[in-house]
């Protein structure tokens, strides 16, 4: 029995998580114990804090953690240290996951949802973004202060240590070895000292993977090339903030933010699995949320944490199948296919299994 901690979260989180647990139960009956955990806005309401110690402990003791999404306008006025997103950062830190893996792959039936020119999309889009997750400016010192001349000011510190860069570079090169063997490291080395340091360490790690071709791009150029020639990317590795931004750009290239899963891995197999979207308060409670991103995150969990590759393949094929059948939630609907609710999408995927 695999022990999975489940964080439904806020907004559409419980909807997409519910669908995913149903799919997992269908593909591997009685293989999992699901332990539901409070985190995010709901935990603030119930316990006064976004990540109660008990919640983190359950995740740390589990074989893997599955997360929906947290946050929403209700908690926007919380002090910074008590915002739902702090819970998210706390879980990532507490689970010691440092590598976030986000595939960006165009599903053939959704090619028409790609906003890029047809000749660009037709070349195929299939890359992964490997984002450093527990370092950089998001985890540096944050402070608001008053300057000696009495003006208000703020600063956030960007910092990377050698082991942080080295271990994420290894994740990227290993991933590339199982793919097209191209790593593109993205930085801002023309301006930032942390980026020049990042580049130096990545080049050093590259020596251990002579079969892999390493390119470097500045982040501003990378954001253009992802639109111009996405087919040329295989594995992208980058620091926390750049990865945060570029992966949302990538999600639009391949269709909807609702379609993309992610895995966050540490040194062992205990990962954190979640869709890349947020809690989508604008559609919460309306059965409009696309559950596919979270369902595919469940498939990544089977693959990376439990080596259940056959079951993961079945889920991915079922998703392909329903898309081929023309089923679309609102976010991927272009006007001609069959518009379905989130729960109809879930039921169709389960039926295919
Ligand atoms: P969002 O991803 O929640 O929503 C952006 C847009 O995409 C919205 O129009 C939404 O309706 C749509 N969308 C997102 N997921 C969808 C799905 N599965 N199906 C259909 N449509 C979908 O981003 P946001 O609006 O910037 O943030 C809303 C809240 O979520 C904020 O409180 C933010 O802090 C939080 N957030 C949480 C996470 C997380 O938990 N990992 C990530 C990002 C944002």
pLDDT at 284: 98
Here the tokens at position 206 are: 């590259």
Closest ligand 1 atom, residue 290 Cα = 19
CB 25 within 8 A of CB 66: no
Range name among 48-52, 109-113, 229-233 with the lowest pLDDT average: 109-113
Identify the pLDDT of residue 140.
94
Which one of the listed residues 244, 287, 313, 347 is annotated catalytic?
A: 244
Active site residue 248: yes
pLDDT in tens, 5-40: 999 999 999 999 999 999 999 999 999 999 999 999
Report strand pairing: 142-146 vs 99-105.
Answer: unpaired
* pLDDT tens per residue across span 104-152: 988 888 887 788 999 999 898 999 999 999 899 998 999 999 999 999 9
Q: Which atom of ligand 1 is nearest to the CA of 76?
A: 32
What distance in angstroms lies between residue 280's CA and the mean position of ligand 1's atoms? Answer: 4
Where do the domains of the chain lie? 1-103+260-353, 115-253
In percent, the amount of the chain with pLDDT more than 70 equals 100
b/e 308-324 (16+ beta carbons within 10 angstroms → b)? beebbebbbebbebbbe
Give the whole-number percent of the chain exceeding pLDDT 90: 84
pTM: 0.86
CA 137 – CA 194 distance, rounded (Å): 10
Instruction: Output the pLDDT for position 294.
Output: 98
pLDDT at site 216: 98
pLDDT in tens, 251-309: 888 877 899 999 999 877 789 999 999 999 999 999 999 999 999 999 999 988 998 98
Mean pLDDT of the chain: 95
CATH of domain 115-253: 3.40.718.10
**pLDDT, mean of residues 143-165:** 97
Locus of tokens 């706390």: 90
pLDDT greater than 80 at residue 218: yes
Which CATH number is associated with domain 1-103+260-353?
3.40.718.10
Separation of CA 108 and ligand 1 centre (Å): 24
Name all residues whose Cβ lies below 6 A of ligand 1: 12, 16, 69-72, 85, 88, 257-258, 274, 277-283, 289-290, 293, 329, 331
The pLDDT of residue 113 = 74
61 is catalytic: no
Same-fold call for 1-103+260-353 versus 115-253: yes
Supply the pLDDT for residue 135. 93
Pairing of strands 327-328, 142-146: unpaired
Reduced to 3 states, what is the DSSP secondary structure of residue 83? coil
Q: How far is residue 50's CA from residue 212's CA, in Å, rounded to a whole number?
A: 42
pLDDT at res. 254: 82
188 labelled catalytic: yes
Q: Which residue, by CA, sits nearest to atom 11 of ligand 1?
A: 280
Distance 273 CA to ligand 1 centre (A): 16
């Amino acid at each position: 029995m695999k022990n999975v901690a489940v964080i439904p979260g806020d907004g559409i989180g419980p909807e997409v998580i519910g669908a995913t647990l149903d799919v997992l139960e269908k593909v591997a009956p009685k293989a999992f114990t699901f332990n539901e955990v409070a985190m995010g806005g709901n935990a603030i309401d119930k316990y006064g804090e976004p990540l109660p110690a008990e919640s983190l402990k359950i995740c740390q003791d589990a074989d893997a953690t599955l997360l929906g999404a947290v946050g929403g306008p209700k908690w926007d006025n919380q002090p910074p240290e008590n915002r739902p997103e702090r819970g998210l950062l706390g879980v990532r830190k507490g689970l010691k996951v440092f590598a976030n893996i986000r595939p960006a792959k165009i599903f053939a039936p959704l090619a028409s949802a790609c906003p890029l020119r047809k000749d660009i999309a037709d070349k195929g889009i299939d890359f992964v973004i490997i984002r450093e997750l527990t370092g950089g400016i998001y985890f540096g010192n944050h402070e608001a202060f008053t300057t000696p001349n009495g003006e208000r000011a703020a600063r956030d510190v960007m910092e990377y240590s050698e082991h942080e860069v080295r271990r994420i570079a290894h994740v990227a090169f290993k991933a590339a070895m199982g793919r097209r063997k191209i790593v593109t490291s993205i930085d801002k080395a023309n301006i930032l000292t942390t980026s020049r340091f990042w580049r130096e360490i990545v080049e050093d790690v590259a020596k251990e993977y002579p079969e892999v071709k390493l390119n470097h791009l500045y982040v501003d150029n990378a954001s253009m090339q992802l639109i111009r020639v996405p087919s040329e990317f295989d594995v992208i590795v980058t620091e926390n903030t750049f990865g945060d931004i570029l992966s949302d750009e990538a999600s639009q290239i391949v269709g909807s933010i609702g379609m993309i899963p992610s895995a966050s891995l540490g040194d062992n197999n205990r990962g954190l699995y979640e869709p890349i979207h947020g809690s989508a308060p604008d559609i919460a409670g309306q059965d409009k949320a696309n559950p596919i991103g979270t369902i595919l995150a469940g498939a990544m969990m089977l693959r990376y944490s439990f080596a259940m590759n056959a079951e993961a393949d079945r889920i991915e094929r079922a998703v392909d199948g329903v898309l081929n059948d023309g089923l679309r939630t609102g976010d991927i609907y272009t006007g001609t296919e069959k518009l379905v609710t989130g729960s109809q999408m879930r039921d169709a995927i389960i039926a295919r299994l």
